[in-house]
Chain A
Amino acid sequence: MTTQPVRFFQVGSFAVGNRLLPSGDRTVQSDADRTNSLDAGHRACQGCGEALGARYAIDAAMRATAGRLLVVNATGCLEVFSTPYPQTSWRIAWLHSLFGNAPAVATGMAAAMKVKGKTDVRVVGQAGDGGTVDIGFGCLSGMFERNDDVLFICYDNEAYMNTGVQRSGATPPAARTATTEAVGSQPGNVFGQGKDLPRLAMAHDIPYVATATVADLHDLEGKVERAMQIRGARYLHILVPCPLGWGSASSDTIRVARLAQETGLFPVFEAEGGQVTAVSPIRHRTPVEEYLSLQGRYAHLFGEHPSLDVIARIQAIADHNIARYGLDPGEHDDAGPEGGRP
């Protein structure tokens, strides 16, 4: 019997509720019994991508481990806005130590669980991009190299937002920050190699590396779940727009995150053992202007005399990503809206 598969293009990547899906396929967030790991009442800004990403990721990790989870948090926005003394928004076992040591603290927790035979208790380390790609990178690389049983999550908002939007190693070219002001002949951040941490993680040949954005909940949760099925060092890099630092509307957080992926500026993929195993193809290939123009940090590229050359260079980065990861929708004719997911 020939059947015609039905594609629910409105489910999955762009929808949170997923009422059209069987209950088992629905997101963790759609479940009334989710942990709410990062509970209401915290002090994050309106439209904070990091708060969203952390709740999605940790709730998914709690589901995947049946609540047997320890979390260590690097210093940064997430830590500051979630635990103003004497309150805490965390409904989980949670520790904050320092800015640059979260991966090593996570190693210590995992070692403690191993030595005590509590191998059902798993460990997640989390940090912003500063705590991951810059000050925490030594500890992170060590954790990767030893293949410690830790999932490390980077919530990447592309600058030091907690201290007032200063440049980090993850800040993209041309972006204005407090330390890469939009002045002079080359306003904003320099064009450089950037510090592409997912690829650096892959170079450690750890079992699992993935990227995600807060715009695609199904994908993000699926990657956390996959990560928790694996033992050893795992790395998840989540793009989390920051309305304050990016100069985007609080109501545009999901939209901006989605555009980062749809333009090719933020490739969404999975890698196992150092090899890319799956990518999320771009559904509607979008020019970078659409992404850049929503953000005040790129305002100097537009206006009366737009910097077409700079925008072209950014477009070239996006095109390079699309080629490198095979993100072009033309290469994935049979793919559903999530790159192979039903």
Chain B
Amino acid sequence: MLRQIEGSRAVAETVACCRPEVVCAYPISPQTHIIEAVGAMVKSGALSPCEFINVESEFAAMSVSIGASAAGARAYTATASQGLLFMMEAVYNASGLGLPIVMTLANRTIGGPINIWNDHSDAMSVRDTGWIQLFAETNQEAVDLHVQAFVIAERLSLPVMVCMDGFILTHAIEGIDVPEQDAVDAFLPPFEPRQVLDPDDPVSIGAMVGPEAFEEVRYLAYVRQLEALDLIPAVAADFARGFGRSSGGLVRSYRTEDADTVVVALGSVLGTIKDAVDARRDAGERVGVVGITTFRPFPVQAVANALAGAQRVVVVEKAFSVGFGGVLSTDVALATQRSESSLYTVVAGLGGRPITRRHLETMLAAAGEDQLEVLTFLDLDTGVVEREQARMAAATTRPGPTAEFVLRDLALRQNGEVEP
């Protein structure tokens, strides 16, 4: 039913419709509203049978999920940012053991400096863990991806992470069609584990694997992830038939036909980019955008096809590899290596910095005139940067912490104590 509802609440209700049997979580902004709502549904009996476990850390949250999943229960958890890093060892373990856990990642940056706001640093930090990573453009898609995630996870016996932008989606209240229980039951069959701890049929899981077999075991994990490239579109198609709307899949193109310049991005910023694309189209420029829904496994062929006609590919990403540049860009570069297109990286929205249509339009205009740098930091306050660099260069001993001086510089200027 279409309701005006908070994204987190909608995700929680949807997850409950997926009948998870063990849910555990450790609070971290901006994931809290999701697990609070799931917890309340378990406590009231609305979600039953389900064990909701308040754990002492994210490391425990993923570990409890591992134990529950290995024992045959459908397991769900949610985290963000530092929490994801704190559970990192178990994140690898869950995929290494092939356990179909579903986790919401309410995307938030990683400190320091500490910052609770949105970007994709957390998701990028786990791109090599062996989890399937799906990115939601809207809250509707976030909701729909969770239903699909359980199907994908359990068919492949691999964990799936649904990434939704922290605060921007999790805390936004908008019209969302939250799936009905009957529809979810018809779409998502009961969990039949591929491997399970059973006293009647005892197996050992998690044995030590030496050099003689490790490469083969990892190769098989790679092959299984690639299977997802076929399964994900199939599940999305099934979903469209069952729910009457299109969500998920590998990539989505918007006004890319005849486009010279195509933007590539992940997550909720695609909405703002589409508005910018419309505006530039109205101004006569041939621009389009490709949204990547499935980030891992990376759909190389689908991305290559989507970008086939582009002369310029501009990857707008909310994360970067310090000391190098774009993260998503390197994947896109591989997908477009056979084309003649030029590739640009635009790092934007770090630590919650708003990505505005105005900034995007300015950037697109520059790209259209081939004036865009290969690596651009959108909306970067170069004045602050230059003053801090000068201060550091001038200091003879112990120049002090950069972040604190940048904040001080901004505050002084805002208060008019220094000429802006």
Contact = CB atoms under 8 A, between A and B. Distances in A.
A72 B90 CA distance: 14
A109 B68 contact: yes
Interface stretch (B7-15, B113-121, B205-213, B301-309): B205-213
Interface in B163-211: 197-199, 201-210
A85 B96 CA distance: 15
A109 B65 CA distance: 9
A95 B67 CA distance: 8
B206 A97 contact: yes
Q: Which of A87, A108, A138, A141 has the most CB of B within 10 A?
A: A108
Interface of B: 21-22, 24, 49-51, 53-57, 59-61, 63-73, 75, 89-90, 93, 97, 197-199, 201-210, 213
Nearest to A37: B202
Interface stretch (A63-71, A204-212, A229-237, A250-258): A63-71
Interface residues of A, number: 47
A92 B202 CA distance: 5
B63 to A, nearest CB: 4
B59 A104 contact: yes
A98 B63 contact: yes
Nearest to B26: A142
Interface in A91-150: 91-98, 100-101, 104-117, 121, 138-139, 141-142, 145-146, 148
Given A95-B206, A96-B206, A112 B60 contact: no
Given A72-B67, A97-B66, A108 B75 contact: yes
A91 B21 CA distance: 28
Contacts of A121: 199
A152 to B, nearest CB: 13
Interface stretch (A76-84, A180-188, A284-292, A300-308): A76-84
B71 A109 contact: yes
Which 3 residue pairs of A and B lie closest in terms of their CB atoms, listed nearest first?
A108-B67, A96-B206, A142-B56
Contact of A111 (B60, B61, B64, B97): B64
A14 to B, nearest CB: 33
Contact of B210 (A85, A114, A138, A146): A85
27 contacts: A70-B199, A72-B67, A80-B208, A84-B207, A85-B209, A85-B210, A90-B204, A93-B201, A93-B203, A94-B203, A95-B70, A96-B204, A96-B206, A98-B63, A101-B66, A101-B89, A104-B61, A108-B22, A108-B63, A108-B68, A108-B71, A111-B73, A112-B22, A112-B69, A116-B21, A116-B72, A138-B60
Nearest to A71: B197
A94 B204 contact: yes
Given A87-B207, A96-B208, A115-B22, 17 more contacts: A67-B199, A70-B197, A83-B207, A86-B207, A93-B198, A95-B70, A97-B63, A98-B63, A101-B66, A104-B59, A104-B61, A107-B64, A109-B71, A111-B67, A115-B49, A116-B49, A146-B54
